[in-house]
Structure 1
Amino acid sequence: MKRTWVLALALATSPAGISAQAEAGAGAATITAGDLRLRIGALAHDSMRGRATPSPELDKAARHIARRFEEFGLQPADGDSYLQEYPLTASRAGTPGRQSIEIDGPDGGTIEGSDILPVPGGRGEVAGPLAIVTPGGADPPDGAVAILRVAPEDTRQGLESVRGLLDGGAVAVLLAVDAPDDYFDGIRRFYERERLSVGMPEELGAPVAFVRTPALPEALRAALASGAGTTAWEARVRTHSEFREERAYNTIGWIEGSDPDLRGEFIVFTAHMDHVGVGRPVDGDSIYNGADDDASGTAAIIELAQAFASLETPPRRSLVFMTVSGEERGLLGSGWYAENPLFPLGATVANLNIDMIGRNWRDTVVAIGADESTLGATLRQTLRDHPELGLATIDDPWPEQNFYFRSDHYSFARKGVPILFFFTGTHEDYHGPNDEPDRILYDKTARITRLIFHLGRRIADADERPEWDPAAYRRVVEGVGRQQGSE
């Protein structure tokens, strides 16, 4: 260990080492508060209308960033394009007037209105004998309308059973929600909002719907409680759901490393360029600008790309700069990249993610994930080497809010890539129209971006790649004992 330290000191104080340090200092100096002010101002301007996924304004942001990458001399990541396109499906439950369940049998009748809620993906009109089923149980008779009782804690399991029931012979599936009205209303609010999913539409090819258990005939409710089997009822089910095919982009550029032995390994810098668009007016303002969330991180990515591109000799490993879309809708863009990477994830040694670094403390940044790998020690050494930044890092002070699972680093972490997530917390303007450029602390944002520059360079030039803490790897990658939240 002592010999290694002496060698590192000798290299740092040699003419070549001093030259490299001076060049790195010059690169960091290109990251300025003034530049960040201009970049955040452009991304979070009212004309960008909150950069919702999908929207023409988000596409405009993606192209704007691509032009910056091209100006800096970055290589396009996807053939000759800086844009990685991915497909989206927008879906929502259909209008209540187009949904009904007619039950023929003892105390039967028609169920409609607020007592029925179609599941997007299922639509059509069919009829058949009603058969009670259980998740993972025997297939229903061919041509039957399958009905299963769903308690609140079993909602996900019930939905996951639908495809198997349809493949097993059911012509429709009813999920009888055995829960208080407010729980059913919560499901309704979820499905009546437009939902985005990655990929092409999943057409279930048959009606699928939630139904309030109290709306069913009393004898049928008793039969549901007693277990599976055929029943004395027949049902005609009619549902409708709406689909729209969309697409969105990630913007990706890269700089090839200078070391022939290490340039096949990659460090990926990420931030999300989308926000939540136009929403409910507050004091007459309906544009949710997203200056901190996450024009601050997106501008930092642009500044980092420029800083590294200014170096005469690139770092030893290759660097990838990525602004993703769809974070606000469920990590869609980074999730697509993780499943369709343009650079091998097995050769991706680190992901440094930046989301909301422009508000709150002037000298402190949260580094989520620092205890999961050797990246934490590298970060601490970088801070010691750069006291001029005037920064300190802290662990996540809000574990109950599950921020770990709510930004794009998680798409990389679950695939086994060591991560650090730089974040300075939410505030009273979070997801509101007052998240405006004039509220950003630009000097602080610049210092955090310079810290990430120095950190990225140190990781890229290190002899060894970062290593996971074994317990963290089991928890994050293998899912042992993991609890996931949602935004």
Structure 2
Amino acid sequence: MKRIQLAAIPLLSATLFACGVNNDKDNTYNAQSDFTRAYQSITDATLKAHTKTLSSDEFEGRSPTSKGEKITLDYLISNFKQMGYEPGNGDSYLQAVNLLEMTASPAMTMTIGNNTFEYKKGMIASTKREKTQVNVNDSDVIFVGFGVNAPEYDWNDYAGLDVKGKTVVILVNDPGFENPDSGKFQGKTMTYYGRWTYKYEEASRQGAAAAIIVHETAPASYGWSVVANSWSGPQYSLVSENGNADRVAVEGWLSNDAAKKVFADAGLDFAQEKAKALVSPYHSNLKQKASITVNSTMKKSVSHNVIATLPGSQTPEEHIIYSAHWDHLGKDENKKGDQIYNGAHDNATGTATALAIAKAYKELTIAPKRSVTFLIVTAEEQGLLGSLYYAEHPIIALDKTVANINMDAMNVLGRTKDVSVVGMGKSELETYLAKAAKRQDRVLTQESRPEAGSYYRSDHFSFAKQGVPALYAKGGNTPIDEKTADYKKRTKLLITGCYHQVCDQFRENWDFSGVREDSQLLFEVGYDLAQSSDWPKWNAASEFQRH
């Protein structure tokens, strides 16, 4: 009898909420006007102010474990406290993330056959193993095509091949990118098999000593400078029980020009070998030896995810989780001139969006039925490590996590007629997104460059791998009017090429109206989910399913 009586309380509350009744003051409550007030509380000025602060020089590029981390955490926690959010991890707003920081000495060279390549010029290399020195000496060099072992696509570049102790050279992306009409993989849309993270993982499973990816700008979706900047300096991984002994000793990249020299010395043409690898699983012996020594300084450290919760009014055990990453690349004191990677676009804008949406929820007179939690994670730039750690050590049970909504590098190019859905077609969350877009007279469109594999490159992917439906959407490609189109053209000229560069800085003339509309859009998606009892599902064609 007690259980029946207790269960009746939330049912009664739900009825009152649905009828627009509240027992406060005049006993009237208009849910729609309450939502509208919260929706409209998200403003350009709020988003701009947070972005400007988070990307200022004071934050020193927000590198994990640095002075910049402490300043960033203090800023985020202060804001969540002022808004009235509860700590998401017991009595703490923080979740400790144990990181292994490895900094490879730039005084290294890689020798393959008769060629010696210099650090950051023709090659870049590091290690994830917990050792101050790793050596690869006179290791046989094997070209393994795309380095893919995918039974569901009937594709295995390692079939019949023993690469234990050898150096594997791997093409970037997957076989569908440059052969989109072949029916292989998902055409130009990158699968996880095209990601560099997967290629190192598979080479490790195969027992290789070293895994070297050949850089090409189009299939990688970024230039060599991004590789040189992102894979140099401190590199992080999660602390493991075996000291990452199951990883390849050396993980690296070769520039395209360097790779062509290696293939030429083997009497092979790089383009012809690549063409063979596009058609079917392929490998070939490059009949050369590779040698490299990586000396590293090693430090175990602790960074932090920030987690804050607005408890639900009826089913607080069920959560909608918004995610964004607070970190960027920090500062490079060896660099001449500007040394700070401010990360204004990536990802001060996403963090600002999280704070603006969090404030909007607190504008509601009655909290949503389900809890709404904000997870601002660390070490995204180092391979989604903060969100990966959270997904493997969830504070909120994954089977109580209804959905994840992610925010990364928001649209500073002005309002758009469309909404770009990254990884379009993956889940029923797009139904909620379409409803929210309709309010703004916008339509859903596929991301402009699905070949970049963006769905696997931000923190929602950590949730997706665990079966939690995850949405990543932001401003589309069609400007709202001619004035915006002109602004977009001018602004793109300024920010193009600034990804992971020191020029990713806040600009006073940025138009935040597109960020605001997208923030309102994602607020509505989360609000509707939080007011619902539905559990969105993955679409049948998706590679993810809830466990």
Question: Do they fold alike, i.e. is TM over 0.5?
Answer: yes
* CA contact 1:99–1:240 (8 Å) conserved in 2: no
Q: Are 1:463 and 2:533 counterparts?
A: yes
Residue 270 (structure 1) aligned with residue 323 (structure 2): yes
Quickly say closer, same or farther: Cα 1:114–1:443, change in 2 above 3 A.
closer
Aligned length: 420
- Alignment equivalent of 2:97, drawn from 76, 86, 106: 86
Equivalent residue of 2:237, what SS? strand
Give, in whole Å, the separation in 1 of the partners of 2:313 and 2:100.
Answer: 41
- 450-459 vs 195-204, greater mean Cα deviation: 195-204
Partner of 1:414: 465
Q: What letter matches 2:455 in structure 1? A: Y
- Among 496, 499, 504, the alignment partner of 1:430 is 499
**Residue 513 of structure 2 is aligned to residue 448 of structure 1:** no
Give yes or no for the alignment of 1:254 onto 2:309: yes
SS of the residue aligned with 1:91?
A: strand
Hey, what does 1:35 align to over in structure 2? 46
How far residue 288 of structure 1 moved from its aligned partner, in angstroms, is 2.7
1:194 equivalent to 2:214? Answer no
Q: Distance in 1 between matches of 2:237 and 2:50?
A: 30
Aligned: 1:402 with 2:453: yes
Pairwise CA distance, 1:334: 0.8
Q: Indicate how the Cα distance of structure 1 residues 313 and 397 shifts in structure 2: closer, same or farther if over 3 A, else same.
A: same
Pick the aligned partner of 2:362 from 305, 309, 320.
Answer: 309
**2:375 aligned with 1:322:** yes
- Displacement after TM superposition at 1:476 (Å): 3.4
Q: Which residue of 1 aligns with 2:431?
A: 377
SS in 2 for 1:328: coil
Q: Which amino acid aligns with 1:378?
A: Y
CA distance in 1, matches of 2:307, 2:212: 44
Conserved 8 A contact 1:267-1:320 = yes
In 2, Cα distance between equivalents of 1:373 and 1:366: 15
Instruction: Return 5+ residue gaps in structure 1 as ranges.
Output: 1-7, 101-111, 140-145, 163-172, 215-224, 228-236, 480-487
Higher helix proportion = 1
In the alignment, structure 1 residue 357 sits paired with structure 2 residue 426? no
Q: Is contact 2:310-2:373 (8 Å) kept? A: yes
Question: For structure 1, which segment, 352-361 or 317-326, has the greater mean C-alpha deviation from structure 2 after superposition?
Answer: 352-361
1:53-85 deviation per Cα after TM superposition (whole angstroms, max 9, x unaligned):
332112211221111111111110112110111
**Kept in 2: contact 1:248–1:325 (CA 8 A):** yes
Q: Which runs of 5+ in 2 are unaligned?
A: 1-13, 23-27, 141-157, 172-198, 216-223, 253-258, 263-284, 477-491
Q: Does 1:341 align with 2:394?
A: yes
> SS at 2:351's partner residue?
helix
Q: 1:13 and 1:155, CA in 2 relative to 1: closer, same or farther beyond 3 A?
A: closer
Q: How has the CA–CA distance of structure 1 residues 209 and 311 changed in structure 2, closer, same or farther, with 3 Å as cutoff?
A: closer
Q: Which residue is 1:142 aligned to?
A: none
Contact 2:469–2:537 (8 Å) recurs in 1: yes
Question: 1:476 aligned to 2:539?
Answer: no
> Which amino acid in the other structure matches residue 309 of structure 2?
W
Rounded to whole Å, the distance in 2 between the matches of 1:379 and 1:176 is 40
| Greater Cα radius of gyration, structure 1 or 2 | 1
**After the TM superposition, which of the residue ranges 426-435 and 18-27 deviates more from structure 2?**
426-435
Letter in 1 for 2:528: R
Distance 1:87 1:26 in 2: 41
State the identity %.
Answer: 27
For the structure 1 residues 90 and 20, does the alpha-carbon distance in structure 2 shift closer, same or farther, using more than 3 Å as the test? same
Matches of residues 67-86 of structure 1 in structure 2 within 5 Å? 67-86=78-97
Give the match's secondary structure for 2:367. Answer: coil
C-alpha distance in 2 between matches for 1:311 and 1:50:
34
Partner letter of residue 405 of structure 1?
Answer: Y
8 Å CA contact 1:369, 1:419 repeated in 2:
no
* C-alpha deviation, 1:335, in angstroms: 0.9
Is 2:134–2:249's contact at 8 Å kept on the other side of the alignment?
no
Equivalents in 1 of 2:203, 2:347: separation in Å? 36
